[in-house]
Amino acid sequence: MVKTTDITLGIIAKDLKKSPSEALVIGVAQGADGPALLDNPLSAKAAEALADTLGVLGITGASDQVHRLPGLPETGSPVLVLAGTGKPDGNGRASGESLRRAAGSAVRQLAGLGSVTLAFPTADAADVAAVAEGAALGSYSYTEHRSSRNGLKDPVPSVLIRTAVDAKEAQPLLDRALVLGRAVNATRTLVNQPPSHLYPESFADAAKELAKGLPVKVTVWDEKRLEKEGFGGILGVGKGSTRQPRLVKVEYAPAKATRKIALVGKGITFDTGGISIKPALGMGDMKSDMAGAAVVLNTVLAIAGLGLPVKATAWLCIAENMPSGAAQRPADVLTVYGGKTVEVLNTDAEGRLVMADGLVAASLEQPDAIIDVATLTGAQLIALGNRTAGVMGSDDVTGALKSAADRAGELVWPMPLPEELRPSLDSQVADIANIGERHGGMMTAAVFLREFVGKDARGEQIPWAHIDIAGPSFNNGSPYGYTPKQGTGCTVRTLVAYAEDLLSGTGA
């Protein structure tokens, strides 16, 4: 059910004719004085002639510009492609993220070709890694439910990267890029699945399928076990649907683990809003309300695939939020795992209810840090737009996540948790209400979640962060860079980078 990218990555050092491809891609920067060719393998004469024609051809070097020209005999490729890298950084170079996006954009827009050589300037290993990641992320499509392939183009299956970086140094970077590409693309595919095909039980099955061949343990709570053990948040949200909820634990526990993290993901496979039903316009996008669970699942699988000595556990809190005679009502009170009661004032604030169960369960294992990921609030889009995720929680964890996101090339912005928001969640009949202050709703939701984060062995709250990906997890606009329409797979790379930073001592 879940298809991942099968792209192959390799490097080539000098003579392009020895490993010819169908297209050779070189970069063009958006310089202050006009477009400028980046370092490339063309002869000086050919490069000069090409540079003189950029303006005539309408090439500016802007991001996502991809122009095809007839190939040159000296390259061995029938097509020469000019890919924009945007404005150079303060040092006059293409930044790592510029290279990542340009490589991804080129591979995405060259779909239908069998092989591509990327000849961007790669001065060091970091540049090679960025180009490789962009290629892996750009080689994606979702065509599972098409009855005909007429007009559809397959993603580029083979990419060579021209670089002077030694093969022994480059290979681990290519391997990492492939692992990240598979994880991000599997997340995209889960998000893109229609709710007729992805529902709590099938999502749990998909987790098992994706975990095959990896050293991870998958445990599934069905509705009977959830009821027996008191997971009232997940059960309360899911009881309005004929498709019963699930809790899935995906655990990677290497023998030499030096750190321990828990990831909790919101997995609402479809969100009608329940009795507090949503407007019909745009409701179809609510198939993506399980993106957080897809992210944490594939993050743990990527950490396992990379063999990082980090114990990583994902908790997938999965339900379908439907209106029916069995659905929970506004003013109902439910009991979350662990005993805390919640007054449900709005059934469309359901994500925080399933996440509460997951946060309590994750806390009992006392990890070094808990990070939850959710498409939680429309307020996130109002505050930060469609491409930037909001991160809230313990300063040390949010700061480390921001640093990891910067390194990974993803957009994350820390937000505060003002203490005056907590009283707005007070309930007259239960321990807490599921909605509070409307203004700053993204932060109010995080304040609610914080109530369910447990304590460590010293009796202090476990370091925790909440990432709201309501906007950046689903792209309703045009494709850009390495990002396709619909599911984006955002924050998988950030969380993997965070785990790596923990090991290097730069993370919290």
52 has binding-site annotation:
no
Q: Is 3 a catalytic residue?
A: no
Q: Is residue 286 part of a domain?
A: yes
Distances (CA, A) of 369 to 291, 296, 344, 424, 466: 21, 14, 28, 27, 11
Q: Is residue 333 part of a domain?
A: yes
Question: Which of 239, 246, 352, 493 is an active site residue?
Answer: 352
Residues 156 and 230 in one domain: no
Q: Is residue 175 part of a domain?
A: no
Q: Is residue 179 part of a domain?
A: no
What's the whole-model pTM score? 0.96
Q: Is residue 294 part of a domain?
A: yes
Q: What is the pLDDT of residue 239?
A: 97
Q: Is 352 a catalytic residue?
A: yes
> What DSSP string describes 188-227?
HHHHHS-TTT--HHHHHHHHHHHHTTSS-EEEEE-HHHHH
Q: Report the number of distinct structural domains present in the chain.
A: 2
266 has binding-site annotation:
yes
Residues 321 and 236 in one domain: yes
Question: Which of 93, 278, 340, 402 is an active site residue?
Answer: 278
Residues 155 and 231 in one domain: no
Residues 124 and 191 in one domain: no
Residues 198 and 310 in one domain: yes
- Give me the CATH number covering residue 473: 3.40.630.10
Residues 229 and 284 in one domain: yes
Residues 223 and 96 in one domain: no
Residues 237 and 156 in one domain: no
Q: What is the pLDDT of residue 289?
A: 98
Cα(233)–Cα(334) distance, integer angstroms: 7
Q: Which residues contact 19 (CB under 8 A, 6 or more apart)?
A: 10, 12, 117, 160
Question: Which range marks the domain in which residue 53 is found?
Answer: 8-163
Residues 150 and 287 in one domain: no
End-to-end CA distance of the chain: 36
The per-residue pLDDT string of the chain (508 residues; one tens digit each, 9 = 90 and over) reads 677 768 999 999 877 877 889 999 999 999 888 999 999 999 999 999 999 999 899 999 999 999 999 999 888 899 999 999 999 987 778 999 999 999 999 999 999 999 999 999 998 999 999 999 999 999 999 988 888 888 889 999 999 999 999 999 999 999 999 999 999 999 999 999 999 999 999 999 999 999 999 999 999 999 999 999 999 999 999 999 999 999 999 999 999 999 999 999 999 999 999 999 999 999 999 999 999 999 999 999 999 999 999 999 999 999 999 999 999 999 999 999 999 999 999 999 999 999 999 999 999 999 999 999 999 999 999 999 999 999 999 999 999 999 999 999 999 999 999 999 999 999 999 999 999 999 999 999 999 999 999 999 999 999 999 999 999 999 999 999 999 999 999 999 999 999 999 998 776 6
**Residue 265 neighbours by CB distance under 10 Å:** 32
Q: Which residues contact 90 (CB under 8 A, 6 or more apart)?
A: none
Residue tagged 């790596």 (tokens): 500
Q: What is the pLDDT of residue 126?
A: 95
Contact present, 183 and 492 (Cβ < 8 Å)? yes
- Give me the CATH number covering residue 88: 3.40.220.10
Residues 201 and 107 in one domain: no
Q: Is residue 1 part of a domain?
A: no
289 has binding-site annotation:
yes
260 has binding-site annotation:
no
Q: Is residue 178 part of a domain?
A: no
Residue spans of alpha helices (H) in 113-269: 125-138, 167-192, 200-211, 223-229, 232-238
Cα(446)–Cα(373) distance, integer angstroms: 11
Cα(229)–Cα(226) distance, integer angstroms: 5
Q: Is residue 235 part of a domain?
A: yes
Residues 491 and 419 in one domain: yes
Distances (CA, A) of 219 to 186, 300, 304, 384, 461: 20, 14, 16, 35, 26
Residues 126 and 222 in one domain: no
271 has binding-site annotation:
yes
Structure token pair of residue 234: 């997940």
- For 313-356, how does the pLDDT look when each residue is reduced to its tens digit (9 = 90+)? 999 999 999 999 999 999 999 999 999 999 999 999 999 999 99
Q: CA-based diameter of the chain, in Å? A: 80
Q: State the sign of the Cα–Cα–Cα–Cα dihedral 192, 360, 210, 133.
A: positive
- For 370-412, how does the pLDDT look when each residue is reduced to its tens digit (9 = 90+)? 999 999 999 999 999 999 999 999 999 999 999 999 999 999 9
